[in-house]
């Protein structure tokens, strides 16, 4: 089933300005859970093991986003902007706490 992301019943014809965006509730929930799990893993694992594991996690998160969100849903212009904002300001920001170059790590898709 394809969902229309970013559409309202009374959708205004004005485009959202990037400065007016904030992380969506769904994005914030996802970022929260990922950040809690990464923090727990960092405490539990050695530094080398954590960093090795972190790249695997980043690859899997990237693949899941692509396969289960981007490919399975329809995004209007505002929805696509919101998704991009959620990824850049939420997801990548969490991984940036632990990885030096998130743009390289998440550039595959």
pLDDT tens, 17-66?
556 899 999 999 999 999 999 999 999 999 999 998 998 888 898 899 88
The answer to whether residue 16 scores a pLDDT higher than 70 is no
**pLDDT score at 65:** 86
The answer to whether residue 87 scores a pLDDT higher than 80 is yes
Q: Residue 10: phi, psi to the nearest 5?
A: -115, 55
CA distance linking residue 5 with residue 83, whole number of Å: 9
97 φψ region: left (φ > 0), alpha (ψ -120 to 50), beta (else): alpha
Beta-carbon contacts of residue 46 (< 8 Å; ≥ 6 apart): none
- Residue 76 has what DSSP assignment? -
H or E segment at 78? helix 77-85
Report the 3 state secondary structure along 16-60.
CCHHHCCCCHHHHHHHHHHHHHHHHHHHHCCHHHHHHHHHHHHHH
pLDDT-derived band at 106, boundaries 50, 70, 90: confident
Domain layout of the chain by residue ranges = 46-109
């Amino acid at each position: 089933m394809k969902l229309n992301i970013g559409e309202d019943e009374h959708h205004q014809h004005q485009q959202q300005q990037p400065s007016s965006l904030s992380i969506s509730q769904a994005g914030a929930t996802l970022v929260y859970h990922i950040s809690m799990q990464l923090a727990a893993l960092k405490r539990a694992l050695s530094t080398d093991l954590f960093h090795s594991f972190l790249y695997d996690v980043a690859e899997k998160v990237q693949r899941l986003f692509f396969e289960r969100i981007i490919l399975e849903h329809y995004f209007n212009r505002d929805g696509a902007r919101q998704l991009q904002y959620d990824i850049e300001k939420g997801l990548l920001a969490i991984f940036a706490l632990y990885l030096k170059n998130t743009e390289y790590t998440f550039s595959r898709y």
